[in-house]
Copies of this chain bind each other. A is one copy, B any other.
Amino acid sequence: MAMNQTLKAIADPIRRRILELLRTRSYSAGELAAQFDLQQATISYHLKLLKQAGLISERRDKNFIYYDLNASVFEEVLSWIYSLGGDNHE
């Protein structure tokens, strides 16, 4: 079940872009929303899915909520891909 959630989470380009942004530093919800041509509520929805998938964590500071990447969740996905032989570059 966990992997299904992870894969669904990263199947969307906006959520992938969010993860890419979080690769280098934390962003608040508002900072993230500013990167897209979408309503903040929509970004909030994507953040919820990423959070549920365990790919990001949130942390409050004043009344900002900062998000951080948690890439360790990918382990299961990597195992699955490897089990399929996903690393042979023959």
Q: Mark A68-90, 1 if CB is under 8 A from B, else 0.
A: 01011011011011011111111
A80: B residues at CB distance < 8 A: 16
Known: A4-B13, A11-B7, A13-B4. A86 touches B90 (CB 8 A): no
Tell me the number of copies of this protein. 2
Give the nearest-CB partner of A90 in chain B.
B72
| Number of residues of chain A lying within 8 A (CB) of chain B | 27
- Which of A7, A13, A23 counts the most chain B CB atoms within 10 A? A7
User: Hey, which bits of chain A sit against chain B, CB under 8 A?
Assistant: 4, 7-8, 10-11, 13, 16, 19-20, 23, 69, 71-72, 74-75, 77-78, 80-81, 83-90
